[in-house]
A and B are shown apart, each in its own frame.
Chain A
Amino acid sequence: MDFNDTPEEAAFRTEVRAWLAANAPAHVIPQGVTLDDAEEVERGKAWQRAVYDGGYAGITFPKALGGRGGTVIEAVVFAEEEAHYHLPKGPYIGIGLGMAIAAIAKHGTDEQRAQFIEPTLKGELTWCQLFSEPSAGSDLANLRTKAVQDGDAWIVNGQKVWSSWAHRSDWGILVVRTDPSVPKHKGLTFFVVDMKSPGIEIRPIRQISGASDFNETFLTDVRIPDSCRIGGVGEGWGVCMTVLMGERLGSGSHKAQVSPLIDYAASTPGMNGGTALDSGSTKLALASALAEEQGARYLEARLRTMVSRGENPGALAGMIKMTYASRLQKTSALAMELRGMDAIAPASGDTQTREIQGDYIWSTVMRIAGGADEVLKNQIAERVLGMPGEIRMDKNIPFDQLKG
């Protein structure tokens, strides 16, 4: 066991650090600066282009597809080093890199690979995800948006929801129902859709945070050429699984969230003089969260070791995201409590308390998106512990005969 880099990894890290030091600062968005959406996307595309030109885009993608042909560990090293800079890297870039081109590389045709993969690696194409629907969240296969074949095209009607940055995306990855006469998982087909197609209407969702990162996307008689179908008709569920496995592994990386709260407690006046960190209950709660955070970090190291050997960590990967989300919610609430009544309405200059409030709001998203806690627990129970699957009332019943 060795927690340090191997000589090869260390050499790669040195190379990446030098390249980032020379190239990243010009793209950094200073802390506290908020760009408007259009400018942020432009800055994100410019950074991705720089990454491509530097030879670090699509590190695990084969060279023939425009990637680097490197290892998973190299991708991890690059991401770790890149995270030291505050760079524009929103879902508009991440969905393309982590989901869209992964699906196209595995299930697409050569023409589709040529059309989409390299331009996405170059930052020329931005992507959004059109999966969830009002009646299809954790039960994604219950989706109702339908596509009907019309010559060499498909006519799509329905409603998608929770599509991040759809209003600034060039393309969307879309899963729809093409055959309602078979059980729900079997009648789905996967497409890529040009977001400028007639019949697409995007409405921002007003979120509890006050922002509108997510959208509802309405599709009305949208015409998608059959050449935009990824994988076979009726094989959309398998393509979705490729995409969602990418989401699960990708959502593991996280910043150290607990340790800054120790300074925060130490700089807050305590109940009996001293600081809030003098309280035994505060100390125990912070230490427990910190111990768990460290455990998650080293569990992630174990999973990366598995991946680097070509093993699939499967449902174990869900443990990282699940514990991160709950910990964020618990510790941000704890931080507000140790701060005292001030955390209800802090002074305008107190950006740290505002960020903590923001974490408390955002943690609700983390506990639901990318596999809700309850879904992940089922997966751990079934796939890691070998316990029975859930009883499914809709099993083997054609979709058009289901209730509701």
Chain B
Amino acid sequence: MNFDLSDEQKMLAEQARGLIAERSPYDHLRGLIDAGAEWDESLWRELGEMGFLGAAIPETHGGLGMSALDQGVIAQELGRANAAIPFFSSIILCADAIQLAGSDAQKAEWLPKLASGEVIGTLAYAEGPGPSFATGVTFDGSKISGAKMPVADAGIAHIAIVLVAGGGFVLVKLDQPTVKRTKLDSFDQLRAHYRIDFNGAEAEALPGAAKLSALIDRAAVQAAFEATGAADACLEMARNYALDRQMFGRPLASFQAIKHKLADLAVEVELARSNAYFGAWAADESPDDLPAAASAARLTALKAFETGARENLQVHGGIGYTQEANCHFYYRRERTLALALGGRDYWADRLIAAQPGSQGKAA
């Protein structure tokens, strides 16, 4: 057993962390919000040139052919910095859907462009209030009709993979006149969301037999890395503030109420990280373990980020409520990660169903 990142993966993490920290500091994020920017295009281009975007896309399709764990290492750093790029929509969801279910021609056409960042994709699954994975959009074999909302990053996306009636996926180019995109007011100021109306838009099916659940499980592991990185950032920010802030003649960090709060958070972060590692290992090496591993990773990572986002702001006190402080980036992003990709109930059901002896096996 060797249950740790390799030296190469540690270097990859360090390299990604250094670059993202330099290009996307908090003041830069604040500037994007003030400018009404939908995303951080220059960071996206740079990460594409360096190969980070296509890390887990096969080499035959223009990527680096790295593992789910390598990709997780990158996702963790993007989560840590709260980066404003469509990595999750375009790479984790859209590219992986094509990789899992696309035809050879679809893979050859789209994966190299997604890997380089030249084309941006997204996954359209929710249809308003209710379960995330909705199938009200119809597909007649060549055209789709109906509405999806909210869809992350749809304003900058060139293509969308759309979940349609019957549970299949179709690929839709978004620059058609039969596709109407309406910007929504997104709770997360650094991840734009849209409503997309399809009025008989041209679409082609992804013919592969891969089920939605496999795509979502794999994405859940990556989301767990993203959330773990973000929770770790909250822990570090709270700790640093508490060490600096003086109260009643001593550092805030010396109060046991604060120490225990952050110790609890540290435990949650380590449990989440450990589950994320196992989830990535299962995605790469042991697909039978993936449903339970992904569910556990998802549940613990969201718990850690929830605690981190809330308690980081709490430790800051009043300053944490200002736009000048940096707590709010995570306080808002946490809700995005918590609600996208199936809520807690979906993953609780899935984890229970994946247990031996449970009445149903995971679908």
Same assembly: yes
Contact surface of A with B, Cβ cutoff 8 Å: 1-6, 9, 73, 259, 262-263, 266, 277, 280, 283-284, 286-288, 290-292, 294-299, 301-302, 304-306, 316, 319, 322-323, 374, 376-378, 380-382, 384-388, 390-391
Given contacts A262-B355, A388-B253, contact A294 B349 (CB under 8 A): no
Interface segment out of the listed B35-43, B97-105, B112-120, B265-273: B265-273
B352 touches A262 (CB 8 A): yes
B263 at interface, CB cutoff 8 A: yes
Closest-CB distance, B70 to chain A (whole angstroms): 10
Closest-CB distance, A381 to chain B (whole angstroms): 4
- B234-269 interface bits toward A, Cβ cutoff 8 Å, 1 = contact, 0 = none: 010001001100000011011010111011101100
B348 touches A1 (CB 8 A): no
10 A-B pairs in the complex with CB atoms less than 8 angstroms apart: A1-B69, A1-B280, A287-B295, A290-B352, A295-B296, A298-B275, A301-B3, A378-B259, A381-B259, A388-B243
In-complex Cβ contact of B239 among A296, A319, A322, A387 (8 A): A387
Given contacts A3-B1, A288-B303, A290-B355, contact A295 B259 (CB under 8 A): no
A73 touches B254 (CB 8 A): no
B357 touches A262 (CB 8 A): yes
B312 at interface, CB cutoff 8 A: no
Contacts of A374 in B (CB 8 A): 256, 260
Per DSSP, chain A at the interface is helix
B262 touches A302 (CB 8 A): no
B358 touches A319 (CB 8 A): no
Q: How many A-B residue pairs have CB under 8 A?
A: 171
Contacts of B251 in A (CB 8 A): 388
B4 at interface, CB cutoff 8 A: yes
Closest-CB distance, A87 to chain B (whole angstroms): 24
- B80-103 interface bits toward A, Cβ cutoff 8 Å, 1 = contact, 0 = none: 000000000000000000000000
A323–B263 CA distance with the chains assembled, in angstroms: 12
A296–B270 CA distance with the chains assembled, in angstroms: 9
Given contacts A377-B263, A378-B259, contact A259 B281 (CB under 8 A): no
Contacts of A73 in B (CB 8 A): 1
Closest-CB distance, A382 to chain B (whole angstroms): 7
A262 touches B6 (CB 8 A): no
Q: Name the residue on B nearest A258 (C-beta).
A: B355
B198 at interface, CB cutoff 8 A: no
B69 touches A291 (CB 8 A): no
B147 at interface, CB cutoff 8 A: no
Q: Name the residue on B nearest A280 (C-beta).
A: B345
Q: Name the residue on B nearest A275 (C-beta).
A: B359
B299 at interface, CB cutoff 8 A: yes
Q: Name the residue on A nearest B259 (C-beta).
A: A381
In-complex Cβ contact of B270 among A290, A294, A319 (8 A): A319
A131–B5 CA distance with the chains assembled, in angstroms: 40
Closest-CB distance, A367 to chain B (whole angstroms): 14
Contacts of B242 in A (CB 8 A): 387
Name 11 extra pairs, CB < 8 A, besides A2-B1, A3-B281. Answer: A2-B3, A3-B3, A259-B355, A280-B348, A286-B352, A291-B303, A292-B271, A294-B278, A297-B274, A298-B274, A391-B250
A385–B235 CA distance with the chains assembled, in angstroms: 9
Interface magnitude class on chain B: 35 or more
Contacts of A378 in B (CB 8 A): 256, 259-260, 263
A301–B4 CA distance with the chains assembled, in angstroms: 9
Q: Name the residue on B nearest A298 (C-beta).
A: B274
Contacts of B9 in A (CB 8 A): 1
A290–B251 CA distance with the chains assembled, in angstroms: 37
- B200-240 interface bits toward A, Cβ cutoff 8 Å, 1 = contact, 0 = none: 00000000000000000000000000000000000100010
Q: Name the residue on A nearest B4 (C-beta).
A: A305
A5 touches B348 (CB 8 A): no
Closest-CB distance, B253 to chain A (whole angstroms): 4
In-complex Cβ contact of A291 among B235, B275, B358 (8 A): B275
A6 touches B1 (CB 8 A): yes
Closest-CB distance, A108 to chain B (whole angstroms): 33
Given contacts A6-B2, A290-B351, A377-B259, contact A295 B272 (CB under 8 A): yes
A277–B303 CA distance with the chains assembled, in angstroms: 22
B2 touches A295 (CB 8 A): no
A9 touches B259 (CB 8 A): no
Contacts of B303 in A (CB 8 A): 288, 291
In-complex Cβ contact of B266 among A259, A266, A305, A384 (8 A): A384
Contacts of B2 in A (CB 8 A): 1-2, 6, 305
In-complex Cβ contact of A1 among B260, B272, B277 (8 A): B277
A284 touches B345 (CB 8 A): yes
Contacts of A322 in B (CB 8 A): 267
Closest-CB distance, B51 to chain A (whole angstroms): 21
A298 touches B3 (CB 8 A): yes
A262–B286 CA distance with the chains assembled, in angstroms: 24
Closest-CB distance, B351 to chain A (whole angstroms): 4
Q: Name the residue on B nearest A376 (C-beta).
A: B263
A377–B256 CA distance with the chains assembled, in angstroms: 9
Contacts of A283 in B (CB 8 A): 345, 348-349, 352
A73–B2 CA distance with the chains assembled, in angstroms: 10
Given contacts A291-B351, A323-B267, contact A304 B345 (CB under 8 A): no
A388–B244 CA distance with the chains assembled, in angstroms: 11
Contacts of B239 in A (CB 8 A): 385-387
A8–B112 CA distance with the chains assembled, in angstroms: 41
B344 at interface, CB cutoff 8 A: yes
Contacts of A380 in B (CB 8 A): 263, 266-267
A391–B295 CA distance with the chains assembled, in angstroms: 42
A205–B348 CA distance with the chains assembled, in angstroms: 42
B3 touches A304 (CB 8 A): yes
Q: Name the residue on B nearest A286 (C-beta).
A: B352
In-complex Cβ contact of B3 among A1, A259, A316, A319 (8 A): A1
- B287-311 interface bits toward A, Cβ cutoff 8 Å, 1 = contact, 0 = none: 0000011011111100100000000
Q: Name the residue on B nearest A3 (C-beta).
A: B281
